[in-house]
Structure 1
């Protein structure tokens, strides 16, 4: 019996998410087709010009916008940012530093501190448990 390996494919939306780009800004042939795992790997290792341009200048999807601004996706929504933004628009927001952005960045910093505190607490507990031979 021989094993038959079928080609794994994904929808363009999934591929765009994995590539970190805004689907609606990709070329029509990308949006209308399916992407195989091999094609995705090729796009990641040797991105074509359109992909380099999108990654560099946008428009960027919300997760990328949130990361570039240092806030959560929910924080973007609370700040009224609901659509994709270009790098230029993100830089302008950073320059303006509106009150909502400052507040959301502070919230995100608190969340990261708390996550770090919990991680350290769990590591201490693991070390104590290991020392007791559990």
Structure 2
């Protein structure tokens, strides 16, 4: 006798996070329901128009904004950016090159270098300083 597997579902907030989109900008039918693993996989494989548009134009959630600017989420908070930004706003910030952006990019790069150094030291590639 084989047992029927139940369909794995997730809340819209979880699905939006996995898709890299801002939940409040998604269509009502997405926000108001539950999303199955199969539906999520289908959206990732062949994104509907609304998902393509959100990924292209935004508004984008903070992790996406931080990544596109090359800073950490904490760096966004230190700069006072707490709301989602559109692609246009992100592009404008890149062009303006405010002082905080350069400082936060440097901080993130140093943090990533240190994390890589520690990982290499733990794996035995080279000694930690």
Length-normalised TM-score, structure 2: 0.93
Residues in 2 aligned to 1:125 and 1:87: alpha-carbon distance in whole angstroms: 40
- Structure 1 residue 115, shift from structure 2 partner: 1.1
1:130 aligned partner: none
1:10 aligns with 2:10: yes
5+ residue gaps, structure 2: none
1:19 aligned partner: 19
- Structure 1 residue 118, shift from structure 2 partner: 1.2
1:34 aligned partner: 34
**Rg larger for:** 1
Residues in 1 aligned to 2:10 and 2:70: alpha-carbon distance in whole angstroms: 30
Deviating beyond 4 angstroms after TM superposition, the runs of 4 or more aligned structure 1 residues are none
Mean CA deviation greater in 115-124 or 52-61 = 115-124
5+ residue gaps, structure 1: 127-134
Greater share of residues in helix: 1
Map 1:35-50 onto structure 2 (within 5 A). 35-50=35-50
**What is the number of residues matched between the two proteins?**
126
RMSD over aligned CA atoms reads 1.3
Residues in 1 aligned to 2:41 and 2:109: alpha-carbon distance in whole angstroms: 34
The C-alpha deviation readout for 1:37-62, integer Å capped at 9, x for no partner, is 01000000000110000011111000
2:87 aligned partner: 87
Residues in 1 aligned to 2:76 and 2:87: alpha-carbon distance in whole angstroms: 15
1:109 aligned partner: 109
Length-normalised TM-score, structure 1: 0.90
Residues in 1 aligned to 2:22 and 2:4: alpha-carbon distance in whole angstroms: 34
1:67 aligns with 2:50: no
